[in-house]
Amino acid sequence: MKFYHRVSELELLTKLEKQSKQNSKMAVILGKRRIGKTSLALESVKNQRFVYLFIAKKSETLLCEQFSKEIERVLDVQLIGKLETFKDIFAWLIHYAKENPITVIIDEFQEFYAINPSVYSDIQCIWDLNKATSKMRLLFIGSIYPLMSKIFENQKEPLFRRADNIIKLNPFSISQIQNILQDNSINDLKNLFEFYLLTGGMPKYLDLLITNQCHNLDSCLDYMLSKDSPFLNEGRNQLIEEFGGNYATYFSILELISRGKTSSSEIESILQKNVSAYLANLEKVYNIITSFKPIDAKPNSRLQKYFINDNFLQFCFHYFHNNRDAIEMQNFNYIKQQIESSISTYSGRILERFFVAILKESQQYNRIGSYWERGHKNEIDIVAINDAEKRILLAEVKMNAKRNSIDRLEHRAIKLLRQYHDYEVSYQLLSLEDAKSLLAQLN
């Protein structure tokens, strides 16, 4: 699949490249795995000379041996003596850049925490002494958001405020997914929703499905549920690596959330243990779940739910995690039958996200959320508010339009609307077909 979108990010990286011809510039590219960080960096160096260094989980000595060979190959130079530490490697590169403008890309930069944390201080010292006289565009890439944020945004860290720009990548928007699918002759609204349901707009997953000729839910599932599919163990292996020895408890929590047990009390009653620390880590350290309160809830309100903020991981934990035996036996028909028998119910919750994503992209509202009262009473799927224009939209979302009811929605909103007596109120009953008009407004 060709490189899509990221226009503003590419413009920024191009600007930095031009500026680096005068003195060195540093940028950081942050984002989840599979979101296209490396693709963006490599797209920005097309037809340019660059050095790409990937920080694998191995000893610093072996890394530097590998990096030395790569530098000699790419730059067509002969290194004199052994560069056995990353400090040596970086010092050589920045001195080389004094006479030869160059881009250096360092991928999975947060891994130095486990290999040699002093590298961050070494880079800071070398950078501060040489950036004014060197011509390097230095790009750091990291997939573990909390660690990368700590490196560059914590005032106690040596690289604090050293980056000229920090680029935080998000999944593709609904209109961007639609554009990619249309480029590949996939034009149906239902198919757009299915690709969103499975990928959430993650570029790598879209690429895999499109490249393998998937064009609807059925063909996507056939590919995902096949012997050599990269999807079957993708989420599991990725998270085991990050969670370490505690992964079993984290996985149990994520499976429960994926199945609609979205409050801490529900999760604790099933697991019979306190999970507050695990939930905090999943949200603040690993950035896998997001907590949310009813719109307009007070900050100290105990009404709170959680959702998995990655559609692919949500799908994995709902359908793959508790079917590991079937996956090991390669009984993919069994899993597909389970998906087909429940996908309508499962899709309903993702359809809410789909409409929220469209409304956010429309930029018509400054607050978007949901509403419920204690005991899960009077739940309203979507509440969108424009405080400047004093408008409030209340929406009920269902896959089956016949199950929607204006009377029910109006009744559920009585208490909420007491706070918005002078606002223009509109009610909408949304099913997938209603996305057409909303999407048309984005294009």
Phi-psi region of 306 (alpha: psi -120 to 50; beta: other; left: phi over 0): beta
Q: Are residues 28 and 134 in the same domain?
A: yes
DSSP β-ladder status, 391-397 and 424-430: parallel
Q: For residue 105, give the H/E element and its range.
A: strand 102-107
Q: 340 in a domain, yes or no?
A: no
Are 270 and 201 in the same domain?
no
The maximal CA–CA distance of the chain, rounded, in angstroms, is 80
- Among the candidates 146, 168, 190, a domain finishes at 168
Does 354 map to a domain? no
Distance of CA 196 to the CA centre of its chain: 13
Do 58 and 182 fall within a single domain? no
Overall number of domains in the chain: 4
Domain boundary (151, 168, 185) is at 168
Owner of token pair 């389970």: 338
Can you say whether the dihedral through the CA atoms of 400, 401, 402, 408 is positive or negative?
positive
Q: Are residues 396 and 375 in the same domain?
A: yes
65: tokens are 């041996």
Do 134 and 201 lie in one domain? The reply is: no
Residue 342, domain member (yes or no): no
42 within some domain: yes
Q: Domain containing 26 — which CATH number?
A: 3.40.50.300
33 and 141: one domain? yes
Which residue has tokens 């990725």? 238
Mark whether 411 and 301 lie in a shared domain.
no
With beta carbons less than 8 A apart as the criterion, state whether 195 and 206 touch: yes
State which residues form the domain around 243: 234-329
Query: How far apart are the C-alpha atoms of 271 and 250, rounded to whole Å?
Result: 11
Contact call for residues 249 and 278 (beta carbons, < 8 A): yes
Last residue of a domain, one of 281, 313, 329: 329
Same domain, 37 and 118: yes
Query: pLDDT tens per residue, the chain (443 residues)?
Result: 788 889 999 999 999 999 999 999 999 999 988 999 999 999 999 989 999 999 999 999 999 999 999 999 999 999 988 899 999 999 999 999 999 999 999 999 999 999 999 999 999 999 999 999 999 999 999 987 778 888 998 999 999 999 999 999 999 999 999 999 999 999 999 999 999 999 999 999 999 999 999 999 999 999 999 998 999 988 888 888 778 788 999 999 999 999 999 999 999 999 999 999 999 999 988 889 999 999 988 888 888 999 999 999 999 999 999 899 999 999 999 999 999 999 999 999 999 999 999 999 999 999 999 999 988 899 999 999 999 999 999 999 998 877 778 999 999 999 999 999 999 999 999 999 999 999 988 87
Nearest to 379 by CA among 264, 260, 268, 295: 295
Residues 238 and 196 in one domain: no
Three-state SS at 389: coil
Within a domain: 349: no
202 in the same domain as 69:
no
